[in-house]
Amino acid sequence: MTIIPAIDVINGKCVRLTKGDYAQQKVYNDNPVEVAKQFEAAGIERLHIVDLDGAKAGTIININVLEAIANATSLKIDFGGGVKTITDVSNIFNAGASMVTIGSLAVKHPELLEEWLMEFSPEHFFIGADVLDEKIKISGWLEDSGINIFSFIGRMIALGATNIFCTDISKDGVLQGPSIELYKKIMQEHPEIRLTASGGVSNMDDVEELKAIGCDGVIIGKAIYEGNISLQQLKAHIIS
């Protein structure tokens, strides 16, 4: 299972929100490049960067952070937040990302996503399903789409997208454990996807449990920044 640390960016700084609430943000480092280098030194190969300013504004804002990290490390980076056009997608790849993260747009404009998948190929896209009570939330988690998580994933599979990560917003940033039962249901319903868990991971036991149920990857944020999971523990897990 792939360990994917998250760097969420507001005003160029590494932050974390609680349950997606922009009013509940905590700055962990003014220099995301420094954080990314620490992850790489621990043996991490993947990185999940979210432009929270971009997600809220509906336009990419912190692409310079992506470029700086890509230039300073060899991490395989996925980047998203405010992606709206094929030019945005090209700019993200040109800035050094290996994958583009798509969330709200996949819900609102699946026809656009289909064009991009055909242009750049599906393996270069990481589709985010952000859920509350099994319903998809969009626009930086501020808007309820009314769409069920299972039907949404079905639509993505029909388009050829199988790299899916699912965040249970009720679990995000509260360090109370991931939505194991939700992920089990998703994988039972759609066994063909590569599912990455996101939200709620509080310790390495959570990571092992997600691995045991068959998750392809796990995105970890606050548990690392609060010291619940050390870089040494991540390194040991990767080596094992």
Provide the annotated active-site residues.
8, 130
Distance CA 240, CA 238 (A): 5
* Strand ranges for the chain from DSSP E: 2-10, 13-18, 21-29, 46-51, 76-80, 99-102, 125-132, 135-138, 143-148, 163-168, 194-198, 217-220
Tokens encoding 108: 């609102």
Tokens encoding 69: 């990290």
- The contacts found for 29-33 with CB under 8 angstroms, 24 or more apart, are 32/7, 32/65, 32/68, 32/69, 33/65, 33/68, 33/69, 33/72, 33/73
Distance CA 157, CA 210 (A): 22
Distance CA 14, CA 7 (A): 6
Q: How far is CA 94 from CA 71, 82, 100, 197, 211, in A?
A: 11, 16, 11, 27, 33
Q: How far is CA 19 from CA 88, 96, 110, 153, 234, in A?
A: 27, 29, 26, 22, 24
